[in-house]
A and B are shown apart, each in its own frame.
Chain A
Amino acid sequence: MRELNLIEEVRTRLVRKGFSRRYAGRATEELWDHYCELIAEVERQGKMRADAKRDAAARLGDATELADEIFERLRATSWLGRNPSISFGMLALMLTILWWGALAVPAAWACGLLVENAALRPLDGMLIAIDWIRAGSHIVPPLLCCHVAQRYFCGWKPALWACLVIAIHNGTHIAQLKPAPGATTVATWGYTFNTANGPGLLAITAPLAVFALFWIWNSRESFVHKQERVVA
């Protein structure tokens, strides 16, 4: 069934390019409706159904070209899509900084580190909070980058780029609190390429794993099965 293959191929290509299953499903539903209208039109001209189906599929166009044009046109509708390297590199870092800022400041306040004589407070709570925030930063910012790439029709490549930036960030970033002599606390924040006390493999691989899982989850289910029921 070339016609079903054509419509399914558009859907598959859109999903492979990084569009959401929802959008790809909508586009293929519209193509399917158009295809049915074309069959009815050709049949009214006195052609057999098999010929009508063949004509209708030919008039819809080529699946690759359709998917490419949908992708190019929609990607061009946002600044993120038009400048993916810069925008997603920046987005990855900004989301990571926002994540740390949004959680570390309230955690420090909750642990009593933002009040007078903070140095006298125990650091245990804050150290635990930093561990949790760090673990979350391995998952949440990459997930948001993948979502933004999908929402603004940017494709999977910018999302992968953003996850790589976050992986590099995780691999080189340090954030530590250490009690120092004289009842003071030393906060260390910065980047290092020293692998001796590195972040571990998980910190680097987690954003890439999030990316992989996001797109595997997105590409599940097939449109063909649904339409085959309609045809039957």
Chain B
Amino acid sequence: MRLPRRWLGHISGAGIWLAASVLFGWWFGSVAWALVAALVLYIIYMLHNLYILDRFIDGAGRMPLFDTKGLWPEIVARADRIKSRARQRKKRYNRLLREVRESTGAISDAGIILNADFEIVWFNKAATKLLGLDSRRDIGARIDNLLRHPDFVNYLAAPEGSSIMIPPPNQPNGALHIQLIPYNKNQQLAIIRDITREAQLERMRRDFVANASHELRSPLTVISGYLDTLADDEEMPESWQVPVSEMLRQSHRMTQILGDLIELTRLEAADTVTHADFINVCDLLREIAGEFEGREKSPQLTLHLEADSALVGAESELHSIFYNLINNAVRFTPDTGSVDVYWRADGDQAVFDVVDTGIGIPAELIPRLTERFYRVDAGRSRATGGTGLGLAIVKHALQRHGGELEIDSVEGQGSRFSCRFDAKHVAVRRGAAENVI
């Protein structure tokens, strides 16, 4: 290590000073005393400069040093440089912080930073507006003490899915969209967006479809009523018989579509079933299979009831799930093929499968199947008499029963539609009593 020049200068200066004092002492015959005096002076000099440096670092003004060049002035100058650099950096950070604060304040979404115990660390202005938080008192408070909606509390404890929707605390008709984003180790950022308007639009759309379907149904009933009478009329000229029966068929189809639309809007209106019963799935499936038995020209339908788990849910909705899936399989399977229906347990879950040897679905179209009125082959499915809403109904009804729809298919060889019900909605006979609500 090489000493810097200022230190060499200082040390050599001190050496000269000591040598001079020794020489001086030797001249007067008292080397020791002269050395002591020189060292005392040196210590005073050092302490004085140290004191000035200390004061300077503390923020007092710059006091004059004994010397203008050498080690000490340089140290003070360097301290000055460091200080002013720190000051500049602080200014820059402050500006940055202010800008960040202002910009987060301007964001219309509320942001709240939470620590591991869900205590509020920081929130922006929008949070004050949306949730009625108070920046003076609520820092450090637990968020679920102030935002007490049970859905939110449950979501906080066990985040299922990416986000939830709750009404804001101060207006029950609104809607808030809340998303928790974990970051760092234990911190979380809650982003809260006011979606009252979107929710309203969504409700308007739903109401519109429901109302329109209801309104269309009454005139249609009249039309199909008259067509029924006309079709039965024996005096009708031959040339009219084909058109009338075609009109009758189409009006029935329209009634069916409207019925499905109304069913679908009803399912969409709520996420959960309001009245849940125990549904004996085996009996239900036997009943549905019975409906297909009498039909001419249909593929072989076989039931495989491997479990006797019951489901907790609404019977009409479960019926339409099972019926629609079996009906689809039967419709798209040639008469020589077969349709196998399975009801089985998988751990705590229960699974319903429909396996057919039908025409299958191209893989790239599978994600679109549950869209309303989506048809893989428009001509064919109309010929077999579907409404185009069956799978959409299945999807929504399944959601309400904690189920998931999985579709596997190979074109030309057949398909498998599986409904997997989560443990919460499944009641195994033995433990049924525990799940009674």
Asked if chains A and B come from one complex, the reply is no
A residues whose Cβ falls under 8 Å from a Cβ of B? none
